[in-house]
């Protein structure tokens, strides 16, 4: 069996409650869960007023908590970081341990909205691989925000919650991310893709329940840090491109305009701009195809998306390219409809849309050939669209 099965959410919740009991001696009063995401198409255009089409996956970060009557949050994690003691109701600051900055950023968002945070103890665990391009940081932010909703007995508007978490990522993790990951983690619904118009910030739920289709996620196990500058540099390239084109939004840029301004744009902004315009068009085409249940049309769109991310946007890497090449070689007759890198890139995962009846063979081939070529054992997941952040 090459496919790594997801533990059930109820098992994770029970383990989180047991972790809380073991470390703090208390019974959980609130348990929150928030999922990671995979993006089918629409990459690196959420910060360009584009469209993206992610879905929440059945891999979660889970936190169990109980009030502790103090002015602090004490948080123990099974994610491989130091325990954190976080003073509440003071201005939050970026400091050590680093992993807790995601929490501090979310605390600040609640404080800015006038909430007085109660002291609590919490235990965090996860079934979502880190550094796999599946948005574990957004999942942690959305999990903490949902936990605070439970502890405060309040419910934020879902969009406001996602934007609060995105701001935490900007201000406390230093990554100028778009809205895709936090929207996917907050708005996820079983059997629904989330088509987000990133200009209006409105998510639309698109049915995705055909049992003949399976989405495989292949984690290359090669890790990248988005905060190392590659992500911010790409974002800056797109801002420069838009300024040179003299437009306020990428949605105003019509096909052919980038090519006409190629010389002025200069390398690499010319190619970055071509990616943005092409990827917006591809994502619109994918949404139209899905509305007609024309899944086959996704194959060429996913292929063109990957090539553009590799050659024009330059956010792929040899391991991602290899995984996509293996899927391409399996081909349509082997059950592969489409494959591409997914997420921020520079490592992480690929997404492969497959015929369900051939998924075991496809996963086995991806795992075997990738390991033969790199010596690295990949992790292969299969996920249907899952429920977004919620109290368990």
CB of 158 to ligand GLA, least distance (A): 17
Q: Cα(237)–Cα(239) distance, rounded to whole angstroms?
A: 5
CB of 254 to ligand GLA, least distance (A): 22
Question: Can 181 be counted among the known catalytic residues?
Answer: yes
DSSP state of 226: G
Give me 326's structure tokens: 């293996």
Output 208 or 231, the one with its CB closest to ligand GLA: 231
Output 103 or 180, the one with its CB closest to ligand GLA: 180
Which residues of the shown chain bind ligand GLA in the complex (CB under 6 A)?
43-44, 46-47, 135, 177-178, 180-181, 343-344
Instruction: Look at the alpha carbons of 367, 372, 373, 376 in this order and tell me if their dihedral is positive or negative.
Output: positive
Output 126 or 135, the one with its CB closest to ligand GLA: 135
Report the candidate in 379, 358, 391, 392 with the shortest Cα–Cα distance to residue 134: 379
CB of 284 to ligand GLA, least distance (A): 16
Q: Cα(384)–Cα(35) distance, rounded to whole angstroms?
A: 12
CB of 166 to ligand GLA, least distance (A): 8
Q: Which of 49, 58, 121, 181 is catalytic?
A: 181
Output 2 or 135, the one with its CB closest to ligand GLA: 135
Q: Cα(276)–Cα(268) distance, rounded to whole angstroms?
A: 13
With b for 16 or more beta-carbon neighbours within 10 A and e for fewer, the 344-359 pattern comes to bbbbbbbbbbbbeebb
Q: Are 310 and 325 in contact (CB under 8 A)?
A: no
Q: Are 286 and 40 in contact (CB under 8 A)?
A: yes
- Give me the active site residues, please: 181
């Amino acid at each position: 069996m090459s496919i790594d099965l997801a533990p059930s959410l109820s098992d994770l919740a029970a383990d989180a409650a047991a972790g809380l009991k073991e470390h703090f001696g208390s019974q959980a009063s609130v348990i929150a869960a928030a999922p990671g995401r995979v993006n089918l198409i629409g990459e690196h255009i959420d910060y360009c007023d584009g469209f993206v089409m992610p879905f929440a996956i059945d891999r979660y970060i889970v936190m169990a908590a109980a009030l502790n009557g103090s002015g602090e949050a004490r948080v123990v994690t099974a994610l491989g970081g130091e325990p954190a003691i976080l003073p509440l109701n003071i201005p939050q600051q970026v400091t050590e341990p680093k992993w807790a900055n995601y929490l501090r950023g979310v605390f600040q968002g609640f404080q800015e909205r006038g909430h007085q945070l109660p002291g609590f103890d919490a235990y965090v665990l996860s079934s979502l691989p880190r550094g796999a391009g599946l948005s574990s940081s957004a999942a942690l932010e959305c999990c903490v925000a949902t936990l605070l909703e439970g502890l405060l007995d309040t419910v934020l508007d879902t969009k406001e919650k996602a934007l609060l978490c995105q701001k935490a990522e900007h201000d406390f993790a230093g990554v100028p991310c778009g809205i895709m990951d936090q929207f996917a983690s907050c708005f996820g619904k079983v059997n629904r893709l989330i088509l987000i118009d990133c200009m209006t910030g409105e998510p639309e739920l698109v049915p995705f329940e055909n049992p003949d289709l399976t989405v495989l996620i292949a984690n290359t196990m090669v890790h990248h840090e988005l905060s190392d500058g590659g992500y911010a540099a790409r974002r800056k390239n797109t801002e420069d491109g838009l300024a040179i084109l003299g437009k306020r939004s990428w949605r105003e840029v019509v096909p052919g305009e980038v090519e006409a301004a190629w010389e002025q744009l200069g390398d690499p902004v010319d190619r970055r701009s071509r990616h943005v315009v092409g990827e917006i068009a591809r994502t619109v085409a994918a949404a139209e195809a899905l509305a007609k249940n024309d899944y086959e049309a996704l194959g060429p769109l996913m292929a063109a998306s990957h090539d553009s991310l590799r050659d024009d946007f330059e956010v792929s890497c040899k391991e991602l390219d290899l995984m996509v090449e293996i899927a391409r070689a399996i081909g349509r007759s082997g059950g592969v409809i489409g494959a591409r890198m997914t997420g921020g890139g520079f490592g992480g995962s690929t997404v492969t849309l497959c015929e369900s009846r051939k998924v075991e063979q496809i996963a086995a081939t991806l795992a075997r050939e990738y390991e033969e070529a790199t010596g690295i054992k990949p992790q292969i997941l299969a996920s249907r669209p899952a429920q977004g952040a919620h109290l368990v």
